[in-house]
Homo-oligomer: A and B are copies of this chain.
Amino acid sequence: MGSSVAQLGVASSKPICPLALKFKGLGIDGDALDLIVRAIKRRVRVAAGDGVVCADDTVKHVTLLSAGVTCSYKRSEDGGRTIRAFHHPGDFCDLSRYVLPERDDAVGVQALTDCSVCIIDYRDLERLLARPELALALWRATMLEAAIYRERLTIASRGSALERVAHLLCEQLARREAVGMDSNRLPLSQIDIADATGLSPVHVNRTIQTLRSLDVLSKESHLDVIDRKQLARIGKFDGGYLDMPALLAKWTVRVD
C-alpha cells in the first residue's frame, strides 16, 4: 500500500506525466504531490466498456484516472445513457460522490477506453485534506468542474448541433493538452458524442461529416482534428477557463 513517486514515473521537480501536470495546474507539486501519490492505495486496470464506479453506498474511496478516458453518466428510465462528463488522466472520476453522496443507482462511471485508475481511500483523503493547500487544490478542482459544466450548459441550451459538437471536441482537446496529451485524436465514438451532446447518433454523424467537409476533421473514420482554430471558432470555444497555469498566476487565494 502506498506507491512511490518513482513507481508512477513522476519526477516531482519536472512533472512529465498527466497526473503530475494536472495537480501542478491545481497548485500542487513537490512534497504535497508526494503525499497524494503515497495515498494511492492501489492501481486497477479497467477494460473499455466496463464500469469504474458502481453507485454503491459502501464504496469508501475515490478513483483518480491515470490513463485512458472515462465518462460519468446517468441512465434515463428508457435505458438511454446521458453522459454528464468525460474524464481524462489526472481527473478524479467521482470526487463529487465524496462530498455529495449520490443515492441514484442510475449514476455511474464507465471506461470508454482501456483505463488505469488509482484508488484513494476516503480515510486517506481525509488526512490529505488536513493540509490547507491540498484542501484548496480540491476546491479548485471542483471549481474547474463547475466552470466546465457552466460552459457546456451555455452551448447545450442555445447552440446548434455543429456548435455543440465542435465545442465538446475543443473542450476535450484542451483538457488533454493541459495534461500533456497533445494528440489531435480523440478516442471517442460518435455514440459517445451523441450521449454527451444530447443529439441523436444519426445527427452526430451528419454533423461530423459537415466538419469533415470543412476540412476541420480528417476524412478518416477516426476522430482526428486537423484545424483546431476553425473548430474553436465554430464551437465558440474560448479555453481561458481551462488554462490553469494562467489562472493560477492570477489566483487570489493564497496559502502562506
Task: List residues of chain A with CB under 8 Å of any chain B CB.
Answer: 60, 74, 76, 82, 84-85, 96, 98-101, 103-104, 122, 126, 129-130, 132, 135-136, 138-140, 142-147, 149-150, 152-154, 156-158, 164, 197-198, 238, 240-241, 247, 250-254
A122 touching B157, Cβ below 8 Å: no
Copies in the complex: 2
B247 touches A101 (CB 8 A): yes
Are A157 and B156 in touch, CB under 8 angstroms? yes
Interface contact A150-B147, CB-CB below 8 Å: no
Q: Which of B142, B153, B164 is the one whose CB lies under 8 Å from A142?
A: B142
- Would you list the 8 A-B pairs with minimal beta carbon distance, nearest first? A157-B198, A149-B149, A146-B146, A156-B157, A158-B198, A99-B143, A139-B139, A101-B250
Interfacial chain B residues near A129, Cβ < 8 Å: 132, 136, 253
Contact of A254 among B60, B126, B154, B164 (CB under 8 A): B126
Contact of A253 among B98, B143, B198 (CB under 8 A): B98
Of all chain B residues, which has the CB nearest A77?
B236
User: From residue A55, how far is it (CB to closest CB) to chain B in Å?
Assistant: 13
Contact of A146 among B74, B96, B98, B157 (CB under 8 A): B96
Min CB gap A126→B, angstroms: 7
29 A–B contacts, CB within 8 A, in A order: A60-B252, A76-B158, A82-B158, A84-B150, A96-B146, A98-B252, A99-B140, A100-B143, A100-B247, A101-B251, A104-B238, A104-B240, A129-B132, A129-B253, A132-B135, A135-B136, A135-B139, A138-B139, A139-B139, A146-B146, A146-B149, A149-B149, A149-B153, A152-B153, A153-B153, A156-B157, A157-B157, A157-B164, A157-B198
